[in-house]
A and B are shown apart, each in its own frame.
Chain A
Amino acid sequence: MASDELSFASIGELAAAYRRRDVSPVEATRAALARIERMDGRLNAYILVTADLALQRARAAETRFVRRESAHLLCGIPFSLKDIFDVEGLPMTCASGVLKDRYVSTTTATVAQRLLDTGAVLLGKNNMLEFAYGETHPEFGPTRNPWNLDRSTAGSSTGSAASVSAGQAYFSIGTDTGGSIRLPASYCGVVGLKPTYGLVSRRGVAALSWTADHVGPLTRTAADAGIVLGTIAGHDPGDPTSVARSPDDYAQIMLRPVRGLRVGVVHREFDGVHPDVQRAALEAVETLKSLRMEVRDVEVPPLEQAVVALLTVLAVEAASYHRQWLAQHPEGYSQAVRDRLKMGALIPAVDYLQAMRYRRVFGDRLIRVFESVDVLVLPASPGPAHPFSEETPGRDFTPYVRRTGPFNLTGLPALSVPCGFSTDALPIGLEIVGRPFADGMVLQVAHAYQQVTEWHQRRPAIAA
């Protein structure tokens, strides 16, 4: 396999190459580490690179293939984790001054453990927005967009999206509280899946907002996302909100024909976005039609109200989680995050409860929309990646999370899939949303779309 071909192979392709002995896990890991070494001075996608540990795990995986032992599909596949997951013995910073040089994990997050148990190779931990709360901490700096280094990677799983987009990792695991997997995925031209709330464990993940935090994969294809989801999903008694339910066979579901599936187009949300995003998303709808899916317009309850409720809930829960650290290490926070946390602590309980009551109203109304459709589609972000100059501290998140946050409030599965490029060559994402626990159907639609489009096969120039 040529170097580029190797770095951009899908998980399935790489796993097959391991089994044919065409490529070894050590070669794939060395290639990924070399790309990190070559590019990360510019991208800043990693906070920690665990090269020695990765090579050690790659050698162990290689031994299994040499001995022709049975192995999980992810065995020997190099991946990265947002630096918000505990991995025993490794530092965790959450890209914050509060934890930097102070915190080394003594346990491993359930999701990380499930991946390590397969024999997958952890390359390191990714940069992110400070505590996943919308701001870049000056000590860590921003992750730059592989498609244009002057553009943002949105957030908060910034390094996860950039590393997958640039061929520095085959997949990454991020978290999403208002769009933090889907928005970076959209900006960087990769697939980002926020699974149904409760399907993937949050144990060992630093919280932002307990009731809105989700853990999910960032990959280059929907098929890869299905493989990763099938590995990390499933009940965890260590997470009080984990559902007692076995994960579906996503790889199988993805192969089902999409003909006849009913797609609800949230037309109102195609207005008010950048014209390039509108064009690409409408073309994607036409492509879904060409796959013989039944496309119809639908009305959804007001997303702007859902965002108000989400930001209220999130602000209070974040203030509660950070209360002790804020008292002990106020200097460890950037000014903007400190301000957000202090404001959250000042929201009256009755207003938090009002937002939680509206959450039920909105959720009930949104679920009813699924009586007439199987999935919803809408643009994932209001525009392609914005310039860093627009990222003023303390800015209002509302316009950014308008099309993603409502599905954190309701816990519905939602995915961003690359659906085109702007006139200035920046990726654009289409969001696909499903019923609770219909994560497989969301992946199925995205997979079918990727079978007839080539947006996900394009590579940023920096990765050449």
Chain B
Amino acid sequence: MTDTVRGSDLIGAARLVGLDLTEREAESYAQTLTGLLKAARALPVPQEVEPAATVAPPEVHRGQR
């Protein structure tokens, strides 16, 4: 997986999800997405960690007074 998103790649990817992109949109989105994805992929996550569930956080008793 490359961190640099290219506009030309996005046009095809967009079709996969039912979107039509102009070349101008694709170039502009590529720049923003490159920044976001580079940062997201750099988030330190140990391999054994599973995704957070979409439920409320657990109540914490540790250290409660």
A interface list, Cβ under 8 A from B: 196-199, 210-211, 241, 243, 261-262, 305, 308-309, 311-312, 315, 323, 326-327, 339, 342-343, 345-348, 350-351, 353-361, 363, 367-368, 370-372, 374, 394, 410-412, 435-437
Contact = CB atoms under 8 A, between A and B. Distances in A.
A398 to B, nearest CB: 9
A4 B21 CA distance: 54
Interface of B: 1, 10, 13-14, 17-19, 21, 25, 28-29, 32-33, 36-37, 39-41, 43-46, 49-52, 54-60, 62-65
17 contacts: A198-B55, A211-B52, A309-B40, A327-B18, A339-B25, A342-B21, A343-B33, A347-B33, A347-B37, A350-B1, A351-B37, A354-B45, A355-B40, A370-B62, A394-B32, A435-B60, A436-B56
Contacts of A342: 14, 19, 21, 25, 29
Nearest to A355: B40
Contacts of A199: 56
Contacts of B43: 305, 308-309, 354-355, 358, 361
A382 to B, nearest CB: 19
A371 B57 contact: no
Nearest to B10: A346
A197 B62 CA distance: 19
The winner among B43, B51, B54 for most chain A CB atoms within 10 A is B43
A343 B32 contact: yes
B39 A308 contact: yes
Contacts of B1: 348, 350
B51 A357 contact: yes
B59 to A, nearest CB: 5
B41 A354 contact: yes
B19 to A, nearest CB: 6
Contacts of A367: 57, 60, 62
A202 to B, nearest CB: 11
A298 B25 CA distance: 43
The 6 closest A-B pairs by CB, nearest first: A198-B56, A371-B63, A356-B51, A358-B43, A359-B52, A436-B57
A359 B19 CA distance: 29
Contacts of B36: 308, 311-312, 315, 347
Contacts of B10: 346
Contacts of B57: 196-198, 363, 367, 410-412, 436
A374 B14 CA distance: 47
Contacts, number: 118
The winner among B18, B28, B60 for most chain A CB atoms within 10 A is B60
A360 B51 CA distance: 6
A357 B49 contact: yes
A351 B52 contact: no
The winner among B40, B51, B62 for most chain A CB atoms within 10 A is B40
Nearest to A374: B65
A197 B55 CA distance: 8
A346 B14 contact: yes
A355 B39 CA distance: 10
Given A311-B36, A343-B29, A346-B10, A241 B54 contact: yes
Nearest to A437: B59
Contacts of B58: 436
Contacts of A374: 65
B45 A357 contact: yes
A339 B29 contact: yes
Nearest to A436: B57
A210 B54 contact: yes
Contacts of B65: 261-262, 374
B12 to A, nearest CB: 10
A435 B14 CA distance: 41
B28 A360 contact: no
A360 B40 contact: no
A90 B58 CA distance: 37
B52 to A, nearest CB: 4
A348 B16 CA distance: 12
A197 B58 CA distance: 10
Contacts of B51: 353, 356-357, 359-360
A175 B58 CA distance: 22
A75 B59 CA distance: 32
A356 B13 contact: no
Given A359-B51, A435-B64, A436-B59, 16 more contacts: A198-B55, A305-B44, A308-B40, A339-B25, A342-B14, A343-B33, A346-B13, A346-B17, A354-B45, A359-B52, A360-B50, A363-B52, A370-B60, A371-B62, A374-B65, A411-B57
